[in-house]
Amino acid sequence: MAHVTTTRAGRHKRIPAALGEPVAEEAAPDPNRTLATDVEKGDGVHDEQEACAMARWETVLDEIVRTRRRALVGYAYLLTGNATEAEDLVQDALFRTFRRGRSATDFQLAESYVRRSIVTAYLDGTRRRKRWDGVRHLLDPRPEVHEPTPTEVRLDIVEALGALSPRERACVVLRYFSDLPVRDVAAQLGIGEGTVKRYLSDANTKLAARLGPVRAADDDLTVTNQRGAR
């Protein structure tokens, strides 16, 4: 077995254990190496990783805007019934999703984040609108601008959805248009599954009055509330 000794030159010299074994020298620790130099090198690697992540999410954002923007606006329109508000919801959702770009580098996952953000922004907006409705009569009314209906969405469906409460509308859009199971609708809205089923049941009754009978999915049939089942 070889042994190591230190020479005057400050190098670690390996003493061969047997004749014929080559002598190898190992450099002594760099006297100029400090924590600061290590951190600087690490920052360089971190910056490179950040640049790669940014390039990826910018690519995903461009692809979503190019290929899915129309569908996202149609989705938002189902909630708002207003083309301008739908456009604003999509813009806001894209900003919310991609402002932390590292979490949105997968196309399908990013689109699901955008759709979830659209619903969240819609519900937040309805709460703000209710507060505004309480004081708007104190100001001069502003004329409403008629917005054209997107061709992808049937007018009768949009009008029927307009008769629902914001929560009912969100549940219907998530359940029947996004095809999410009840448990996922509940998780996305932060409410119980029984509450989702109650909203869907009430919404189906209202929609049936305008559109005809609405066939509920299997997991929509059992409706519960705080007082029991129905």
Residues 132, 53 share a domain: yes
3-state secondary structure of 190: coil
In-domain check, residue 74: yes
Q: What percent of the chain has pLDDT over 90?
A: 27
The lowest-confidence range among 92-106, 130-144, 150-164 is 130-144
Residues 54 and 129 in one domain: yes
Q: How confident is the model at residue 50 (pLDDT cuts 50, 70, 90)?
A: low
Residue 175 lies in a domain: yes
Q: Verify that 163 and 118 share a domain, yes or no.
A: no
52 and 110 co-located in one domain: yes
Give the pLDDT confidence of 138-174 residue by residue, as tens digits.
344 444 444 444 444 567 778 888 889 999 999 999 9
| Distance, C-alpha 96 to centroid of its chain | 8
Strand partners, 14: 4
- Does residue 22 fall inside a structural domain? no
- pLDDT over 70, % of the chain: 53
Site of tokens 């951190």: 39
Q: Do 95 and 171 lie in a common domain?
A: no
What does R_g of the chain's alpha carbons equal in angstroms?
31
Structural domains of the chain, count:
2
Please indicate, yes or no, if residue 59 is contained in any of the structural domains.
Answer: yes
pLDDT of residue 197: 94
Per DSSP, helices labelled H in 99-181 are 107-133, 155-161, 166-172
Q: What is the pTM of this model?
A: 0.58
Q: How confident is the model at residue 211 (pLDDT cuts 50, 70, 90)?
A: confident
Q: What is the C-alpha separation between 150 and 86, in angstroms, rounded?
A: 10
CATH number where 178 lies:
1.10.10.10
Nearest one of 204, 205, 199 to 225, comparing CA atoms: 199
Lowest mean pLDDT, pick from 79-88, 91-100, 135-144: 135-144
**Domain residues for 190?**
149-213
